[in-house]
C-alpha cells in the first residue's frame, strides 16, 4: 500500500492558495481514479482506492500546514506503511511553475509542512515537489504562497494537475522515473495546445463596378429622355402661341 499525502491548509479561505497545491493534487487523483468518499480520520481527511491495481490511501491533514506531521505520523504508524511508500505532494518555490521533481529525504528548504512531517516520521519519505515559482524576494514569500493562483496561471496549473493524476499509476507502482517523464510529456502537450482562433468577421461584398456596355446604354437612355422632354416643351409653347 502507498500513502499519498497532499499538503495544504483546511477551509475555503485557503482552498485556491498556492500553498494548497498539494491538496489540489490529491483531490484530482481521487477524482481521476474513482476513489471513495473523503472521511475524517488521522486528524485529516482520508480516501481509499486503487490505482493501476495498487492500493493507495490519500490523506489531507487538517492540522494546518505547520502541524502536518501529527496527521501523517498517525496514519503512517497505524497503516504500517514504510517511509519509502509515503509520497508527500507539496508546493515548491525553487521550481519553475508547472515543473515537477521527486526526491527522497534531503533538506526541507524552509517548508514548515515538511519540517513537521520529518519531526514525526523521520526524513526518508518521498517528496513530490510541485513547482509554483518564487516571488523574487524572501520577504514576499509568505504573502505569495498564502494567496490564490492568478487567473493567468490557471492554464499551466490545470495541465499540471491533470498530468500528475494521470501519471499517478507509476507512483503507485513505485516507478518514480516513469512518473516524472510522463508528467513532463503530458503537461507540456496540454500547454502547447493552440487556443481556438478568434472568429474573423465575414468580409462584406464589394460593390461591383459598372460594366462599360451597361454604362453606355444608360447614357443613351438619359439623352433620349432629355430630348423627349425638350420636344414636349416646344409643342406646348407652340400650342399656347396659336
Q: What is the DSSP string of 136-157?
A: SSGGGHHHHHTSBPPGGGHHHH
Q: What global pTM score does this model have?
A: 0.78
CB burial string 26-44: b at 16+ within 10 A, e below: bbbbbebbebeebeebbbb
Sole residue written with cell 527522497 = 104
CA–CA–CA angle 84, 77, 24 (5° rounding):
65
CB atoms within 10 A of CB 220: 9
CATH superfamily of 2-191: Peptidyl-tRNA hydrolase (3.40.50.1470)
Cell of 178: 516513469
Separation between Cα atoms, residue 66 and residue 144, nearest integer Å: 17
* Residues 6 or more apart whose Cβ sits within 8 Å of residue 62: 10, 40, 43, 44, 45, 71
Q: Is residue 134 annotated as a catalytic residue, yes or no?
A: no
Q: Which three cell numbers stand for residue 215?
A: 454604362
Per-residue pLDDT of the chain (242 residues; tens, 9 = 90+): 999 999 999 999 999 999 999 999 999 999 999 999 999 999 999 999 999 999 999 999 999 999 999 999 999 999 999 999 999 999 999 999 999 999 999 888 789 999 999 999 999 999 999 999 999 999 999 999 999 999 999 999 999 999 999 999 999 999 999 999 999 998 776 656 554 434 444 445 454 455 555 555 555 656 555 665 665 555 555 444 44
Catalytic residue among 19, 33, 90, 111: 19
Structural domain boundaries in the chain:
2-191
SS (H, E, C) 147-186: CECCHHHHHHHHHHHHHHHHHHHHHHCCCHHHHHHHHHHH
Q: Residue 137 has what pLDDT?
A: 94
Amino acid at each position: 500500500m502507498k500513502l499519498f499525502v497532499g499538503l495544504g491548509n483546511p477551509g475555503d479561505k485557503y482552498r485556491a492558495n498556492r500553498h494548497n497545491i498539494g491538496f489540489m493534487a490529491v483531490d484530482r487523483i481521487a477524482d481521476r481514479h474513482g476513489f471513495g468518499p473523503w472521511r475524517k480520520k488521522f486528524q485529516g481527511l482520508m480516501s481509499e482506492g486503487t490505482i493501476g491495481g495498487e492500493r493507495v490511501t490519500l490523506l489531507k491533514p487538517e492540522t494546518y500546514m505547520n502541524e502536518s506531521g501529527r496527521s501523517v505520523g498517525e496514519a503512517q504508524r497505524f497503516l504500517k506503511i514504510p517511509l519509502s511508500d509515503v509520497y508527500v505532494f507539496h508546493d515548491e518555490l525553487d521550481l519553475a511553475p508547472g515543473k515537477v521533481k521527486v526526491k527522497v529525504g534531503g533538506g526541507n528548504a524552509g517548508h514548515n509542512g515538511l519540517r513537521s512531517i520529518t519531526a514525526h516520521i523521520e526524513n526518508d519519505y518521498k517528496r513530490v515537489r510541485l513547482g509554483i515559482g518564487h516571488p523574487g524576494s524572501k520577504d514576499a514569500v509568505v504573502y505569495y504562497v498564502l494567496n490564490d493562483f492568478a487567473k493567468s496561471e490557471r492554464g499551466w496549473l490545470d495541465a499540471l494537475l491533470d498530468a500528475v493524476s494521470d501519471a499517478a499509476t507509476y507512483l503507485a507502482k513505485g516507478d518514480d522515473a516513469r512518473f516524472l517523464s510522463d508528467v513532463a510529456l503530458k503537461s507540456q502537450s496540454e500547454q502547447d495546445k493552440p487556443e481556438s482562433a478568434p472568429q474573423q468577421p465575414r468580409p462584406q461584398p464589394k460593390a461591383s463596378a459598372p460594366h462599360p456596355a451597361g454604362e453606355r446604354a444608360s447614357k443613351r437612355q438619359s439623352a433620349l429622355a432629355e430630348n423627349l422632354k425638350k420636344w414636349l416643351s416646344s409643342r406646348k409653347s407652340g400650342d399656347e402661341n396659336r
